[in-house]
Structure formats: C-alpha cells, structure tokens
Amino acid sequence: MRSRADRAKGARRIRELAERVLRGVALAALAALFWRALMPPAPKAMSIARSDKAGLTPSLLRWTLDAPSAAHAVLDRAPDPQSRDWIAALARSGTAVSWSSPRTLGASAVVAEPTPEPYGATRVRLAAAGGDPVSIGDAAGLIDTLPRGGASELELSSVAGTIRASGATFTASTASRDSLSLRPVLVLGTAGWESKFTIAALEERGWRVASRVRVAPNVEVTQGPLGAIDTSRYAAVIALDSSAASSAGAIARYVRDGGGVVLAGSAARLGPVSALAAGGVGRRMAGVAGAVASSTPREGLGVFPVAAPRGDAVVLETRGTVVTVAARRVAAGRVLQSGYDETWRWRMAGGDEAMTAHREWWSRLVSAVAYAPLVRRASSGDVTLDGVGATDEAPLASLIDALGPASPLDSRLPATTDDTRMTRILFAAALAALLLEWASRRLRGAR
C-alpha cells in the first residue's frame, strides 16, 4: 500500500503535469494568434453575412477588403439604401452577390405630396404588407403608429425633413418635393345661414373666398376677386343652391377645363351642371333627430341623396344604403356632389368639436376637387437638415431592382462565417490557461 507521502508525491507530479499542459495551451493559443495576425486566411468560396444588430456594414467592409468570389447576404429586413447600393457596387465589381431572408420581407411603399389646402399640409400614403405595426415619423420624431400596416393615408400639418415609415422588415422614407399655390374658392348661393356659415368655415380654415350671395333680384353681396369662372382665377367653385343657375354654363366649361366644383344640396339639378354631376338628386331625407350633437353629426342633417350614381362616380360617403357624397372626374376637371343641406346646423348645434369639424369637412370637400397643379420645388438650397434627397420610397422593390429576387443559399458551396470569433476564442483560451496555471502554482506554494 502506498504511503501518504507517496500519494502526495504522485498528486504533485500530476498537478505539475497539468500546469505544464496549461502553459502549453496558452503558448499554442498565443502562437496561433500571432500567426493569424501575420498570415490572413485566404478567401473562401462563399462568404455569408447576416444582418443583425450591428447591421451589414462590418460584413460589407470585409467583403470589400476580401473581395470574395461569391457572397450571400441573409437579410431579416430590407437594407437601407446605403447598404443596398454598397452590395450592388460589390456585385458590379465582380463578386457574385445573392440574398435571401429567413422570413417574408413584405412589400412596402410610402409617398408624400402636398394637399391642396391652406397652411401646406402634407398627405402621406403608405402601403405595408405583412400586418405588422408600422410607425411613422420624421426628423422631429415619432408622429403616429399604425397598428396593422396595410394601406393608409395620413394628413400631417407639419413635417420636418424626411418622413420615415418603419415596420418589422422595412424602413421606407419619402419627402414632399412639390409645392402648389392655391387660388381662391368661389361660392355662389342665396343669402342664408348655409351660405353664411359655409363661407365662414372656409375662411376660418384659411381659404381665400370670393362669393356672390343673392339677397334680392339683381342685388348681391359680393366679396373677393370676381371675374369669369376660370381655372386661372379659382381653385374651386361651390354652388350651394339654384342661385348659381345663371353661372351654370360657365361652371360646366370651367370643369371641363380642369376646374373643381362642389354641388351642394339640390344644386346638382342646375341645367348644364346636372350632366356633370355624380348622379341625380333624390328626394330629400330628413336627418335623424338629435344626431347632430352625436359622434356622427351628419346623420342629423337633411340630405338630398345622390340618386343613381353614374358608372364612373366614386362614392365618398353614404348613410345606410343611400349615397350622400359622391365625386366624379369630368374631362380635365372634377365634380363633387354633396347632398347635405343645412350643414350650418352641425356647426351651431353639434358637439364641442363641431366648429372645427365643420370647417375641416368643408375644407376637405373643396380640397378633393380643387384645381392646384403641382410645381416641383428647386432642390438646391432647399435641402433639409437630414437631406431630403436621401429617400427610399419602396425598399423591397429597390432591393429586387438592384440585386434581383431572393435566392436560397447554395449549400454545395463551402461557407465560412465571420472569423473574428476564432480570434476571440484563441485569446480567451490563452488567458484562461495562463491564469489557471498561475493559480495552481501559487496554491501549491511554487513561484
């Protein structure tokens, strides 16, 4: 039987051996690191990069330096324009680049344009497949969030720089590069509460209004620049009642030349204009009692339904099965027929927000038909802080356009992954081995 001393001696020899092994491991790791530093690995057949938290940039940088013959990007979202252009440049420089995605990259698109309304609002249209939430923001921060993507339209009264729409698999950006100048609106009607409050609503909303309001035969209350009804003078014409009959022919010509007309109440019956209207004028229906003060105030208004809308009419609003507002394009112009009469009751007797809502509703009616040609803004000297020029309105489409459709990774080709991990592993192994060896020596009393 071995003595304790013998056993202790044996243990010490094993321990010394282990220490030597650890030292050898550390030295080997250091040597491997030194060798890797001096001799970079040769490019392999396929380099794969994955877009992760750090983005594609490190991989793209490596590809640029390494110049692999083939590269494949695994994307979890549509890349930003800079990365996309970088990949496309690599493809054009000789590297066969392909891409794929572990999940479906939904199509998306966003576009912005000025709305023909006072104060220069911007209308943003967004289409995002996939059903994921989409957040809309600009250089000033988050504006709104759409819970389920889809197709949406937003109106923003102020925009700073580029507008961005971000979803789970994309970030699209756009900017409004056009401007438009709005001409006044001409209102024709008989003196009464409807003409008074319609004009008031438009003026309070910021529109410039010209008007002819009949008080007595050959007696009118006029306002603003009055002249021939022409697209060079007016952005839109609103006919509130039969008092516009004397101008019906001029209105029809105006529409055909590109003007916009709103026919309110029973004004769609006016001779030459009736052929342009979205439909006939039905028998007046009374409003629902008390609804004016509710959340659906127009339910409480009397309405002349749009009877038998024409085939090319677009229905904009209904009450049950009855069409209350419809619009139609006629030659170069547009005609909107709103059957509501006495909308002033909404403003007077509606809820707390009735005044604002009434103004905005009338403004939208006019805006829907207003003649306001777009003018491209000069790009120089008009760049916003984050660069209006850098937009990416349809990321997925642009990606496919640049790199072609997605293609699965070719498993026959050998692949390499990012080798910075090996460097980290070697370093950690060297450090751990040295520390363990030193600890063991100290614990047994050796120096």
* Residues 23 to 82 in contact with another protein, rule: CB under 8 A: none
Q: Is 155 in the site for another protein (CB under 8 A)?
A: yes
Q: Is 442 in the site for another protein (CB under 8 A)?
A: yes
Q: How far is CA 174 from CA 85, 109, 115, 389, in A?
A: 17, 9, 15, 9
- Shortest distance in whole angstroms from residue 164 CB to another protein: 13
Q: Is 96 in the site for another protein (CB under 8 A)?
A: no
Buried b (16+ CB within 10 A) or exposed e, 177-208: beebebbbbbbbbeebebbebbbbbbbebebb
Interatomic CA distance for residues 350 and 354, integer angstroms: 5
Q: Is 19 in the site for another protein (CB under 8 A)?
A: no
Neighbours of 266 (CB within 10 A): 17
Q: How far apart are the first and last CA of the chain?
A: 32
Please pick, from the candidates 52, 144, 230, 419, the single residue that binds another protein as defined by CB under 8 A.
Answer: 144
Neighbours of 82 (CB within 10 A): 14
Q: Is 246 in the site for another protein (CB under 8 A)?
A: no
Please pick, from the candidates 40, 41, 131, 206, the single residue that binds another protein as defined by CB under 8 A.
Answer: 206
Strands (E), 131-246: 134-138, 141-146, 150-156, 163-166, 171-174, 178-180, 185-190, 209-216, 219-223, 236-239
Q: Is 8 in the site for another protein (CB under 8 A)?
A: no
Q: Is 299 in the site for another protein (CB under 8 A)?
A: no
Q: Is 140 in the site for another protein (CB under 8 A)?
A: yes
Q: Is 423 in the site for another protein (CB under 8 A)?
A: no
Q: Which is nearer to another protein, 214 or 319 (CB)?
A: 214
Q: Is 151 in the site for another protein (CB under 8 A)?
A: yes
Within 393-422, the residues that bind another protein by CB under 8 A are none
Q: Could you identify the residue written with the tokens 């229905």?
A: 315
Q: Is 221 in the site for another protein (CB under 8 A)?
A: yes
Q: Is 159 in the site for another protein (CB under 8 A)?
A: yes
Please pick, from the candidates 33, 139, 415, 429, the single residue that binds another protein as defined by CB under 8 A.
Answer: 139
Dihedrals phi, psi of 128, to nearest 5 degrees: -140, 115
Whether 338 contacts 268, CB under 8 Å: no
Q: Which is nearer to another protein, 191 or 400 (CB)?
A: 191
Q: Which is nearer to another protein, 68 or 184 (CB)?
A: 184
Please pick, from the candidates 55, 192, 280, 282, the single residue that binds another protein as defined by CB under 8 A.
Answer: 192
Whether 239 contacts 214, CB under 8 Å: no
